[in-house]
A and B are shown apart, each in its own frame.
Chain A
Amino acid sequence: MSPPAGPIMGAMQDATGAVVSFENVTKRYPGSDSPAVDNLSLTVPAGEICVLVGPSGCGKTTSMKMVNRLIEPTSGRITIDGEDVMSLPAVELRRRIGYVIQQIGLFPHLTIGDNVAVVPKLLRWKDQRIRERVEELLEIVGLDPAAYAKRYPTELSGGERQRVGVARALAADPPVMLMDEPFGAVDPIRRDRLQNEFLRLQEKVRKTIVFVTHDVDEAIKMADRIAILQKGGILAQFDTPAAILANPASEFVERFVGADRGLKRLSLGRVGDLEMIEAITVRAGEDRTAIRARLDRVDELDYALLVDDQDRPLGWIDQQDLRGSGPINPEAASPGAPTVERETTLRDALSGMLGSSVQLGVVVDERERVLGLVSVDAIGERLRAPVRAADGGLHPVGEAAS
């Protein structure tokens, strides 16, 4: 075995993230007066998600594409673990950087398994190794290989395609991943799920991710660090979401982040930070008297939660449904409370809960099983308590913009 050639190859071996660094990078398109990216310098620490965000024409996508040289910088340099990306042939470099684009870009003529296998095949892995890797990856992103490997992209929903896109980008275990509005093509509810899922995945794989979006809320939710770019490719601010919300560096940033900055800081907290209330879960056919007795033991709860045989929530059972005796009627359950996951931001959770009649959020795990409940009051509690922000200082989450 020969030693790995350079850090990009070296980082491949242990499969964790690598430091991505922009050093005075400028991109000027021929025939254009102003640069698309102007003297950009920033460093993304290994294993972090750096979100590039800004209005259209701010050069966020251009900046991202310079990392894998789909666009080449006019001047300056980009390094991965200190190694200049220009030192490798472009195709070699790209095979070592995961890439997820907006419409996912799955190859329609290839099965899901073959889509995931594209980069391993380009790298000429052995068939056996490719098969094992494809299975492993589909499982990682929550798609059963037996059911999915032989299907074609048109047979999948937007959310499933998105997961295949992520699996494909992870195929060769690249230290760095580029994601260009990866959740842009899915509806808001599913987007929240996919974001949560991706954050859980990132906990495990710890890649260095350069993520492009135009959505500030997505940036706040996903980012370890946000780079806000403004027109002309100028870096307006590069910092943690908490620091940007607390101290916008300029009027542009303040305007871009929005007037509801105080409210947005709710996005810094997650449902997992809250104290959960234990849910009284019941299954169809349980005796009403017994349920009433269980419910009476808990002061703050007036509702029981009907779940299916997999512990997945079906709906609320209120006092009226519990009158009399005999088994509970499953049709009595009234739907209408949002399900949230531990990774859901407090802002999204609150927004969902305020819109429903029973102002409780049902916390579920990745298999949809009920973990507990959170209340609007708990979020209120959280707002009053100061949290330790990522910049090390103490900030009350709900503190008004100053």
Chain B
Amino acid sequence: MEFFGEVAAWFADPANWNGPDGIPARIGEHLVLSIVPLAAAVAVALPVGAWIGHTGRFSNLVINIANVGRAIPSLAILALAAMLLQRTIVDIGLRDSASEIVTMIALFFLAIPPILTNAYVGINEVDDQIVEAGRGMGMRDLEILRRVEIPVGLPVILVGVRTAAVQVVATATLGAVVATGGLGRYIIDGIAQRRFDEVFAGALIVAALSIATELGFSFIERRATSPGLRGRDTAPRELAQAGRPGGI
């Protein structure tokens, strides 16, 4: 119980809320560290996944890349990125933010598989009959994608983005290992200096941020999904002819 008292005291200490290593500053760094690679991954993986889902071409390649990507541990991706890229980044004159860039690149690759897979699956699973109806009514490929496949596949697509976002927010903590800012600092520095109240407080904030991310994206999913896809009111009803007899 004493330990929790210390953690509470850590949160109560105004010094931990101010300055470059205060909680707001660290959350800000953490968000930048997360949002940039997530946005980049969405920009790349969504169109690629959607197009592959639409055409059905190269689907095996995508699935395999995604599976391999998922199998590699996050820390390994980060270490790999640091080894392969740090030197180059420093060489091109970005020494000051080299750690951040390396971490963002690692997180970018981490975010790709769920977004890519779900974009592909979401589009690919759209009923062929519906797609055929769209084509038969004179939609062009892009119109089918934009007006039919993406909106119908949206719930699945957004689950991919949410999964990636939560993963990125959680994993951005590891950036501290290669000397970035963000909430990982509390944990890494706390361990190094045996300040376990700070370690625990940092872990709590990361967990809260991850949960907030999860809830935020769930909210967006609900808002963005057409009511027609929400699976409610699935029981067929005869409205115009309520009680209409089939014979007397």
Contact = CB atoms under 8 A, between A and B. Distances in A.
Interface of A: 68, 70, 90-96, 99, 101-111, 118-119, 122, 142-144, 147-148, 151-160, 168, 178, 189-190, 312-316, 333, 335-339, 352, 356, 362, 368
Contacts of A109: 151-152, 154, 226, 228-229
Contacts of A314: 245, 248
Nearest to A142: B240
Nearest to A151: B239
A72 B37 CA distance: 45
Question: Which 6 interchain pairs have the tightest Cβ spacing?
Answer: A105-B133, A152-B228, A95-B138, A94-B138, A109-B226, A99-B136
Nearest to A169: B137
Contacts of B237: 155-157
Interface string B57-84: 0000000000000000000000000000
A265 B136 CA distance: 35
Contact of A91 (B138, B244, B247): B138
Chain B interface size range: 35 or more
A392 B177 CA distance: 92
A99 B137 contact: yes
B130 A105 contact: yes
A189 B246 CA distance: 7
Given A108-B130, A154-B233, 18 more contacts: A91-B139, A94-B138, A95-B137, A101-B129, A103-B127, A107-B148, A108-B152, A109-B229, A122-B137, A122-B138, A152-B227, A152-B233, A155-B233, A190-B246, A333-B248, A368-B241, A368-B244, A368-B245
A190 B147 CA distance: 32
B236 interface: yes
28 contacts: A70-B132, A91-B138, A93-B138, A95-B137, A96-B138, A103-B127, A105-B133, A106-B133, A107-B134, A107-B147, A107-B152, A108-B226, A109-B226, A111-B228, A118-B137, A118-B147, A122-B143, A148-B240, A151-B239, A154-B233, A160-B239, A168-B137, A190-B246, A312-B245, A313-B248, A337-B248, A339-B245, A339-B246
A103 B138 contact: no
A351 to B, nearest CB: 12
A313 B137 contact: no
Contacts of A99: 133, 136-137
B140 interface: yes
A337 B247 contact: yes
A362 B129 CA distance: 38
A184 to B, nearest CB: 12
B238 interface: yes
Interface in B111-162: 127, 129-130, 132-140, 143, 147-148, 151-152, 154
B193 interface: no
A93 B226 CA distance: 30
B247 A339 contact: yes
A106 to B, nearest CB: 8
B234 A154 contact: yes
Contacts of A368: 241, 244-245
Given A93-B138, A152-B227, A337-B247, A160 B240 contact: yes
Contacts of A143: 240
A203 to B, nearest CB: 21
A313 to B, nearest CB: 4
B225 to A, nearest CB: 8
Nearest to B150: A109
A157 B238 contact: yes
A361 to B, nearest CB: 10
A205 to B, nearest CB: 18
Given A109-B152, A110-B228, A101 B240 contact: no
Contacts of B129: 101-103, 105
B140 A91 contact: yes
A70 B138 CA distance: 10
B248 A101 contact: no
Contacts of A111: 228
Contacts of B240: 142-144, 147-148, 160
A82 B132 CA distance: 27
Contacts of A142: 240
Contacts of A103: 127, 129
Given A101-B129, A109-B229, A189-B246, A94 B136 contact: yes
A80 to B, nearest CB: 15
Interface in B199-248: 226-229, 231, 233-234, 236-241, 244-248
Contacts of B139: 91, 122
Contacts of B133: 99, 101, 104-107
A335 B248 contact: yes
Given A160-B239, A313-B248, A119 B137 contact: yes
A70 B136 CA distance: 7
A182 to B, nearest CB: 12
Contacts of B127: 103, 105
Contacts of B239: 147-148, 151, 156-157, 160
Nearest to B226: A109
A335 B247 contact: yes
A304 to B, nearest CB: 13
A356 to B, nearest CB: 8
B248 A70 contact: no
A143 B239 CA distance: 9
